[in-house]
Amino acid sequence: MENILNYSIFLLYMLTALSIWWYLSSNESKKIQTTIFILWVLAIILHAYSLFPIFEENSVNLSLYYALSVVAFIISFFLYFSSILGNTQYLGIIILPIVSFVFLLNFTNVPVNISLNNFLFAHVILSLISYSILCLSAAQSLILKLQEKKLQKNKPIGFIGSLPSLDIMDKLLFKLLALGVIFLSLSLLSGLIFLEDIFAQHLAHKTILSIIAWFIFIYLIFSRSKYGYRGTKAANITLVGFFILFLSYFGTKTVLEMIL
């Protein structure tokens, strides 16, 4: 039953991504737009249902697999409503296939129970939200790099031709970065409350890498206003920061839960 549910979610997300690509590439009618949102809503509903097992009595299980699934849900949910309120639907072409891939993973799910009755849970949620938003920033960076490359070659074909202007795309990247940095800052500050001994808690690498990523994003935002960083240069720095942040959380969890 669980496999059927996972494959169904995978299929719905992939169909949604393909529908978005088709809609933006061919400028089809609004019927395709309606189909996109129906498929996406169904995927989100089933995705939410698949997360029910993480909740236990007064605690939540955020093992590696479930943490990935929660992040995938936050990203999908946030992007869905962002697509309704603004022109960000194109991000689904990159994001949704990645989200769907989570449901093809198959590894030992070592329980990591976190109590719902203390501030540690709030710290973890802030961390997951910041990671999710900065993941969208990374996707925006990839599309921005591709768009700029195609425009330089005078080949804005396919869905690239339907994207907003480079200036609007660049501004959206920095809006996502600013929001992500706010949540990352709150996550780091709240984490200080629980890090009595980061070495004893096996959190040294996670903390150090998260702080490095934070400095990279802060440097990029500062350089945007001071030196006018934008386009491919800003996108590349964003991707470096996100990669380090990815290693800080999921790289650390992979080592602790599946190797040590």
Tens of pLDDT, residue by residue over 75-108, are 999 999 999 888 899 999 999 999 999 999 876 6
Task: Assign 61 to helix, strand or coil.
Answer: strand
pLDDT-derived band at 217 (thresholds 50, 70, 90) equals very high
Strand partners, 61: 113
Residue 260: the pLDDT is 44
Ranges 104-108, 121-125, 228-232: which has the least confidence: 104-108
Q: What is the pTM of this model?
A: 0.89
Mean pLDDT for the stretch of residues 120-148: 90
pLDDT tier for residue 259 given thresholds of 50, 70 and 90: very low
- 117 pLDDT higher than 80: no
180: exposed, middle or buried (Cβ count in 10 Å: 0-12, 13-18, 19+): buried
Averaged pLDDT, 22-29 = 76
Q: Are 76 and 135 in contact (CB under 8 A)?
A: no
Q: DSSP letter for 56, please.
A: E
Going by C-alpha positions, the residue among 249, 215, 133, 140 that lies closest to residue 180 is 133
CA distance 187 to 215: 14
| pLDDT(253) > 60 | no
Of the pLDDT bands very low, low, confident and very high (cuts 50, 70, 90), residue 166 is confident
| Sheet (strand 113-115) strand order | 55-56, 59-61, 113-115
> In which band, very low, low, confident or very high, does the pLDDT at 251 lie, cut at 50, 70 and 90?
low
What pLDDT, on a 0 to 100 scale, did the predictor assign at position 85? 86
Phi-psi region of 158 (alpha: psi -120 to 50; beta: other; left: phi over 0): left
pLDDT at residue number 31: 76
pLDDT-based confidence at residue 33 (cuts at 50, 70, 90): confident
Per cent of the chain over pLDDT 90 is 48
φ, ψ for residue 62, nearest 5 deg: -115, 55
Mean pLDDT of the residues in the chain: 85
Q: What is the pLDDT of residue 203?
A: 64
Segments making up each domain of the chain, as ranges? 1-106, 126-260
Q: What pLDDT shows up at residue 195?
A: 60
